[in-house]
Amino acid sequence: MLPFPIDPVPALHGVRVLEAARVLAGPFCGQLLADLGADVIKLERPGAGDDTRGWGPPYVPGYSDLSAYFLSCNRGKRSLTLDIGGSDGSEIFHRLLAKCDVLVENFRTDSAEKLGLTPDALLARHPRLIACSISGFGRTGPLKDAPGYDFAVQALSGLMSITGPTEGPPFKVGVAVADVLTGLYASNAVLAALHARARTGHGYAIDLALADCALAAQVNVAQAFLTGGTVPQRQGNAHLQIVPYQLFATADGWLVLNVGNDGQWKAFCAAAGAAELGADPRFATNRQRVERRAEVVPEVERLMKRLTTAEWEKRLTDANVPHAVVRTYADVFRDPQTFARSMKLTVRDPAGNLVDLVGNPVSMHGAPRPDPTMPPRLGAQTAAVLNELLGLDADAVKALRDRGVV
């Protein structure tokens, strides 16, 4: 039991976000805020919507605008279609902003300037607004006008240079990690700005670049270059600074071995029936094992191939040596741990059919989570949002729709 009452509402209840962003980084930020209780209104182009609605297959059966990609980052939002390029749409956009706490946008720099939606212009008109701008390379520097795509950012940020097998071409990460990381940094910055606004009373402009976030996320490997001056080589499935900490072949499969300290090294050697290796003074410390990687790794490879994966799991578990079997999504989503952590959510589509979604990893005791809701159909809440926030009745919304504004 907690030593205080559980809040009746989610943590971000009362915070309203206008998400004028598409594809992944901005929408992922918006979904994180929605998962914490914010009212997130997704602004989309009339007739087209977010590009990812059509990035399939797979799609939810019967819905051409609900791709798996779109589902992954648009849970818990309301969709409003609005053309902000014209005067009518621009006026409605600003009226909506006046009712919102946060704007998340990924306008191109030239588009923002043309529309009068630069951070300075937004804050001049909406002085309490948290304006979070997401772009490939940020609002400053020689690349500020360049388009930013995750794959290109992985290449330009150095991430691909350290990813992949030791021989052969560099590899990208298997998911659009620069976008995801930027969405995480963005939600973190938005929460900090909201906290600061409660103290100062004024708004803030946040400038986030995919390239900056991808570089910052390379943490110890990038820092190793700055500290030592040596360009790190690709390690494949090994670790640059810990040995043995990599993927190994067993007698019948693959297993990740995570020997993170010297005690675990001795415990591994004992579990492998090679106590003499653990007692060898040449390999006693991690620094020695890193420096003698070419000697240590072949010894471990030889040992690992002697036993099956199942036998290694038993021995390493008994010895408290961290390890993991490489699993597929089929394995992951039937694991009791996944269910225990609510990492698979089930919602209903507009026809009432069940749809599974990937869950949010944040577990906050003391405040409820909002009930998960299906990512919205294109423009499904346009009339409701315009009536609720701006007082526009059905006839006014129909007139806007007839003119192509919404």
The token duo for 154 is: 């992985």
Annotated active-site residue 179? The verdict is: yes
Non-local CB neighbours of 154 within 8 Å, separated by 6+ positions: 160, 163, 172, 173, 177, 178, 214
Q: In what order do the strands lie in the sheet with 16-20?
A: 77-81, 39-44, 16-20, 102-105, 130-135, 204-209
Residue 22 tokens read as 């598409």
Peptide bond into 57 cis (omega under 30): yes
Instruction: Read off the tokens for 305.
Output: 């191939």
Q: What share of the chain is helix, strand, coil (3-state, %, to 5)?
A: 40, 15, 45
- As a whole number of angstroms, the distance between CA 226 and CA 42 comes to 41
Amino acid identity of residue 327, one-letter, is R
Among 179, 335, 356, 393, which one carries the catalytic annotation? 179
Question: Radius of gyration over alpha carbons of the chain, in Å?
Answer: 25
Long-range contacts formed by 284-292: CB under 8 A, 24+ apart? 286/242, 286/243, 286/261, 286/262, 289/243, 289/244, 289/265, 290/241, 290/242, 290/243
- Which residues is 40 bridged to in the sheet? 17, 77
C-alpha–C-alpha distance, residues 32 and 184, integer Å: 8
Three-state SS letters, 9-76 = CCCCCCCEEEEECCCCHHHHHHHHHHHCCCEEEEEECCCCCCHHHHCCCCECCCCCCCEHHHHCCCCC
Both structure tokens of 183: 């969405």
Amino acid letter at 28?
F
Q: How far apart are CA 403 and CA 81, in angstroms?
A: 13
| Whether the bond into 298 is cis, omega within 30 of 0 | no
Residues marked as catalytic: 179
